[in-house]
Amino acid sequence: MNERTVITMTTAIEMKGRAAEGCTGGQPWGADAFFSPEHRELLEGLMYPKKVEAHKYLFWEGDATGKLYYVRSGRVKLTKTTEDGKTINLSIQRQGDLIDALDMTGSGVYGYSAESIEDAEFGVIQEKDLEILLHRHGDFAVAYTRWMALQHMTTQSKFRDLLLFGKPGALASTLIRLCNTCGVATKDGIRLTMKLTNTELADFIGATRESVNRMLSEFKSDGIIDIEGGFIIVKTLKELKAICQCPSFPACPREICRI
């Protein structure tokens, strides 16, 4: 993550009035960043539409896999439930993302649930159709493999943040990822356009709501963040990066540093 990159991207979005689209500056996002227009056309040819209302589930943890979901619109929260019933937020998927847990054996199950945060539309691809596409188009198979590699790198970077630098480091990392995903540059700092409760933030880092309340209060008293109308404003990105020892760009590119 590079502070200059974040500020440049968010400023571009603010000027274009596209705050709700995050920090991509109109650039392809998620899987769309890896696939050419020809590849996306091939995928579109395999899709059938599916709509899911807000706060409804696309699938549940433990359901049989066998489908790939392309997010056409809306946002989807991926969550995992522990044995003691605690929910952990894994990520938030949005337009241009692929939700994939295919094991290509026909015997797998989802290791997480997918819940629509808002009304969402998907393109659904059957596993058998994807297999045929991968066999027939080597260039698409290479792009798909690169996309899958990025998913693993993103997961590994989140584990790093959660395990190595304690809860403050995990929270700082989550705020940085939110800056890259839904931050807008303002005169006061980077304003997060996604409104999350302290409970939801706690679910991203495996902490309690009370501990997140305390850490946010400390960040605020240190002048690192501010909170206005329930929205967090990151005033000093450099300080957040220091807390979680954030790797410098290009070691941690924007595609990985996302919520």
pLDDT of 168-211, one tens digit each?
Answer: 999 999 999 999 888 999 999 999 998 899 999 999 998 999 99
Q: What is the amino acid identity at position 215?
A: M
Please give the pLDDT value at position 187.
Answer: 92
Please give the pLDDT value at position 73.
Answer: 94
What's the rounded Cα separation, in Å, for the pair 13 and 11?
Answer: 5
- Indicate the SS3 state at residue 229: coil
Cis peptide preceding 253, ω within 30 of 0: no
Please state the length of the chain: 259
pLDDT in tens, 7-61: 333 333 333 333 333 444 456 668 888 899 999 999 999 999 999 999 999 999 9
- Which of the pair, 151 or 135, is modelled with greater confidence? 135
With beta carbons less than 8 A apart as the criterion, state whether 133 and 42 touch.
Answer: yes
Q: What is the amino acid identity at position 169?
A: G
**How many CA atoms, within 13 angstroms, populate the side-chain half-sphere of residue 84?**
3
> Helix 138-164 and helix 127-136: axis angle, to 10°?
120
What's the rounded Cα separation, in Å, for the pair 27 and 50?
Answer: 25
With beta carbons less than 8 A apart as the criterion, state whether 101 and 61 touch.
Answer: no
| DSSP bridge pairs for 219 | none
Our measurement of the distance from residue 110's CA atom to the centroid of its chain's CA atoms, rounded to an integer in Å, reads 18
Share of the chain above pLDDT 70, in %: 84
**Is the pLDDT score of 1 beyond 50?**
no
Nearest-CA neighbor of 58 among 77, 34, 84?
Answer: 77
With beta carbons less than 8 A apart as the criterion, state whether 95 and 74 touch.
Answer: yes
Q: What is the amino acid identity at position 182?
A: C
What's the rounded Cα separation, in Å, for the pair 244 and 115?
Answer: 29
Share of the chain above pLDDT 90, in %: 57
**Any alpha helices (H) in the chain, and if so which ranges?**
3-16, 37-44, 127-136, 138-164, 166-182, 198-205, 209-221, 237-243
Please give the pLDDT value at position 5.
Answer: 39
What's the rounded Cα separation, in Å, for the pair 68 and 236?
Answer: 39
Four-residue CA torsion sign, 67, 177, 164, 31: positive
What's the rounded Cα separation, in Å, for the pair 158 and 229?
Answer: 28
Please give the pLDDT value at position 20.
Answer: 35
